[in-house]
Amino acid sequence: MRKGDLTRQSILERATGLASKVGLDGVTIGALAAELDLSKSGLFAHFRSKEALQLQVLEFGATQFLEQVIRPSLAEPRGEPRLRALFDRWLDWTRSSPLPGGCLFVQAAVEFDDRQGSVRERLVGIQRQWLGVIATSLQKGIDAGAFAGGVDPEQFAQDVYGVMLAYHHASRLLHDPHAEARARRAFEALLAGARGAAH
């Protein structure tokens, strides 16, 4: 591995953390260079455009998310354990030290939902995949008989993500100490609903 790839990696790591706080647009090349004791132009040379930097930040974050949230959860047995793992690990993800501003994708989703371009498109792909993982995890649970047949996986995925977003809001903006406990209760209620034949 070349040296350049090494520094590029550390740039992306820092940029990802910064983006979780101030957004992908808020990650300024000058500020990022200053944080890393690099010159603006030296840092810029690694990406050659800000959009490319943003895309690589998204890619870096997606890889981290895959390794920290999705992959270990998919190692859990189907049904409730796997869904619980996804939920727990997502909560941990939003509080992990490389993301001082919470979930990078929550920030980016709000920032880019009214724009066009490759960054938005990549973000949509990432978020669809994430919701897809939740949905198919439930579907596999249904197939295994752990959940009722009438449950809609896409409905469940949107519901679970809502619990996560509400936690993120209550926790990060309002600093509500009960945010996590409520999120867990809400998630348990969703699981209970999927278990029983409700709705």
List of residues contacting DNA (CB under 7 A): 2-5, 7-8, 27-31, 33, 37-46, 48-51
91 binds a copy of itself (CB under 8 A): no
197 binds a copy of itself (CB under 8 A): no
In single-letter form, the type of residue at position 33 comes to A
Span from 43-51, 59-67, 135-143, 182-190 in contact with a copy of itself (CB under 8 A): 182-190
148 binds a copy of itself (CB under 8 A): no
Rounded to the nearest whole angstrom, what is the least distance from the CB of residue 116 to a copy of itself in the complex?
Answer: 12
Q: How far apart are CA 182 and CA 1, in angstroms?
A: 46
Span from 6-14, 43-51, 88-96, 168-176 in contact with a copy of itself (CB under 8 A): 168-176
Angle at 45 between CA 101 and CA 125, to 5 degrees: 50
Residue 4 interacting partner from a copy of itself, DNA, none (CB closer than 5 to 8 Å by kind): DNA
Please name the residue ranges forming H helices in the chain: 3-26, 29-35, 40-44, 50-65, 71-74, 80-95, 104-112, 118-143, 153-168, 179-195
Q: How far apart are CA 199 and CA 118, in angstroms?
A: 38
Q: Which of 30, 42, 100, 150 binds a copy of itself (CB under 8 A)?
A: 100
Q: Are 156 and 190 in contact (CB under 8 A)?
A: yes
Residue with smaller CB distance to a copy of itself, 14 or 46: 14
